[in-house]
A and B are shown apart, each in its own frame.
Chain A
Amino acid sequence: MIVGGVDVGSATGKAVVMKDGEIIGSHMVGATTRPQETARLVMEAAIHQAGLSSIDHLDNIICTGYGRLKVPFAEENVSEISCHARGAHWLAPTTRTVVDIGGQDCKVISLSDKGTVLNFAMNDRCAAGTGRFFEAMARALCCGLEGISALENQGEEPCVISNQCSVFAESEVVTLVNEGTELPSIIAGINISVASRLNSMVRRVGLVEDLVLTGGCSKNEGLVRALAAKLDITIEKLPVDPQIAGAVGAALIAAEKAGARG
């Protein structure tokens, strides 16, 4: 059986094609202003990568993410909470807590040993702890998102960034820049600040190991280290790009639903 999962997020679109429980294609694109277009672009690319000629070869497609209501070729949509949970648990079966750090929100999901969602928390009406936060900081530092990853971990003493509000944190960063503080120190401070925010969310839901990170920001190694230190745990990397975990989950749910249909 060949199935697809597409995750139309606020910043990127992700798609995964699976055949008999194996990933045979995946792709990511930047989000366009039309979610149906983002979904089409990314799904076509993933299908092509899987060596298939057309979407018609897929037995079922599930979509998720903020644009999930706008995807014409998916039969059903499932929330990104369920998809990240399913994806992370399949990729790492010992997972009991998922922290997904996406473009415009972050969520902490608590799982049972079977991978079902027990509880979850999301940041509400606030950019703190999201990709947008990092984008704002990168703007203040004139270094781009890649710069944030590249410049961290240069052994500098981290600055203290006390504001978790992205607007005020940006002002704080601008002050540090103007005082002549080295960029790696500021970036380390930013990562610690986001990790603090995630730390309280994890504690609110209740930490049960193993904990894994999904979403685009989980590729920021400085952030992962800062969070691991705060929680006093080891955070293992997923065996695939953590940004596609939601699309993997969507594909798994697509397979399950197609299987149930027979």
Chain B
Amino acid sequence: METDIKSAAFQKFVEATGSIMNPEVQAWKDQGRGVVGFFCSTVPEELFTAAGLLPFRMRGTGSTSTELSDAYFSPINCSFPRHTFNQALRGEYDFLDGLVCINSCDHVRRIYDNWIRALETPFVQVMSLPRKVGEPQIDWYYDELNILRGQLEEHFGVQLTDQRIGEAIALQNQVRGLQKQLYLLRKADKPPITGAETLAVMVAGTAMPKQRYKDLLRELLGELSEKRGSRDYRARLMILGGELDDPAYLEIIEKQGGLVVTDSSCFGSRLMWRPVDEAEPDPIRALARYYVRDRPSCPRMYGDQPQRIAFTREMAREFRVDGIIGERLLFCDQWVVENYMTDLDLKEDEIPFMALDREYVLSGEGQLRTRVQAFLETLEARGN
């Protein structure tokens, strides 16, 4: 990754983002400690932290083929689960002590079924996240979280007390707070960090021990508070979308001259824009409310589109965005309809919007460049 950020902390983030196993995870394993993989930003990683485990968000980083996983999936399944499962079949996830899957979408939840047939990971669970965002659904997820709590206690031989869970929530909230500080630096006319660099920082947060990550992030923020962005750009962009963990995708956009200053994406602001309520005496209740209702939601949730577009508008205004790019993984039925609604809603605000389809592994760079260039030309023509 091309960067003018010099800190060693940032280099560690880039390293963690660019691979699956990284030195921080290896060091953790070498201490004899466990790692639990999980899919989707709605899985409460605080429970793993409370159990003394390292939560690791599942990715297909480094994959170049789906030839092994296509025996289990079809070519019209989303490329994210296909590449990620292919990496698992190649042994890239053999370091996991456990895996928690979730019905975030029908493509991703099928990983559970395939995983338990094909792989030997000792602890594999699947959670059921409700589709609506009301009180009955919070109660449902509260039960799910308590079931997972019991499963973790039993398998890993730990006591998940309220106090431990509360401490894990506090730690994760501190991480969220620092990540938000990083985002707020990007409100500047010349942000000290690009969108691609920010994504590397965010992805790394799901792939290393939390306390270590927090310390490194604080170090990076110290450096960035002194740094003034030098990059010239043609427009300030926001990225809207789901599973995007590859900074190279944003680098292509930024090389065309569109600086990504904020996002609503599930390795981005939706992970951390709001904290979990630490005042709630029952920490499981606090987590259920947070993951079902209080965090910015994604289109898999029913009836919540008005809140989502409100969040998009709020971010676009706060970060003085010139245009929004909606990225969607091919065959994603959640995002295709959402993007159409977003396009119509943003017309009311006169915020230009462009929807882009992509594959999980970066391809079709020429088409991507053409679209981004045309979008930037359109934004410039508006400004003249």
* Chain A positions near chain B (C-beta within 8 angstroms): 66, 69, 78-82, 105, 116-122, 124-125, 204
Nearest residue, chain B, Cβ from A116: B381
Residues of B within 8 A of A66 (CB): 366, 370
B359 beta carbon closer than 8 Å to chain A: yes
The interface on chain B, measured as residues whose beta carbon lies within 8 A of the other chain's beta carbons, has a size of 20
Q: Are A125 and B364 in contact (CB under 8 A)?
A: yes
Q: Are A81 and B370 in contact (CB under 8 A)?
A: yes
Instruction: Give min CB distance, A105 to chain B, whole Å.
Output: 7
Q: Are B359 and A118 in contact (CB under 8 A)?
A: no
Contact with A117, one of B364, B369, B381 (Cβ below 8 angstroms): B381
- Bound-state Cα–Cα, A81 to B374, Å: 6
Contact with B352, one of A119, A125, A204 (Cβ below 8 angstroms): A119
For B13-29 the 0/1 string (1 means CB < 8 A from A) is 00000000000000000
* A contacts with B: majority SS: mixed
- Bound-state Cα–Cα, A81 to B354, Å: 13
Q: How many A-B residue pairs have CB under 8 A?
A: 49
Residues of A within 8 A of B215 (CB): none
- Bound-state Cα–Cα, A117 to B376, Å: 11
16 pairs from A and B in contact (CB 8 Å cutoff)? A66-B366, A66-B370, A69-B369, A78-B373, A79-B370, A79-B371, A80-B374, A81-B374, A82-B378, A82-B381, A117-B381, A121-B355, A122-B370, A122-B371, A125-B330, A125-B364
Nearest residue, chain A, Cβ from B328: A124
Residues of B within 8 A of A82 (CB): 374, 377-378, 381
B357 beta carbon closer than 8 Å to chain A: yes
- Bound-state Cα–Cα, A82 to B330, Å: 26
Residues of A within 8 A of B371 (CB): 79, 81, 122
Contact with B378, one of A118, A122, A204 (Cβ below 8 angstroms): A118
Residues of B within 8 A of A79 (CB): 370-371, 373-374, 377
Nearest residue, chain A, Cβ from B256: A79
Residues of A within 8 A of B364 (CB): 125
- Bound-state Cα–Cα, A116 to B330, Å: 30
Nearest residue, chain B, Cβ from A65: B370
B340 beta carbon closer than 8 Å to chain A: yes
Nearest residue, chain B, Cβ from A206: B347
Contact with A78, one of B330, B366, B377 (Cβ below 8 angstroms): B377
Residues of B within 8 A of A119 (CB): 352, 378
B185 beta carbon closer than 8 Å to chain A: no
Complex interface residues of chain B between 333 and 383 (CB less than 8 A to chain A): 340, 352, 354-357, 359, 364, 366-367, 369-371, 373-374, 377-378, 381-382
Residues of A within 8 A of B374 (CB): 79-82, 117, 120
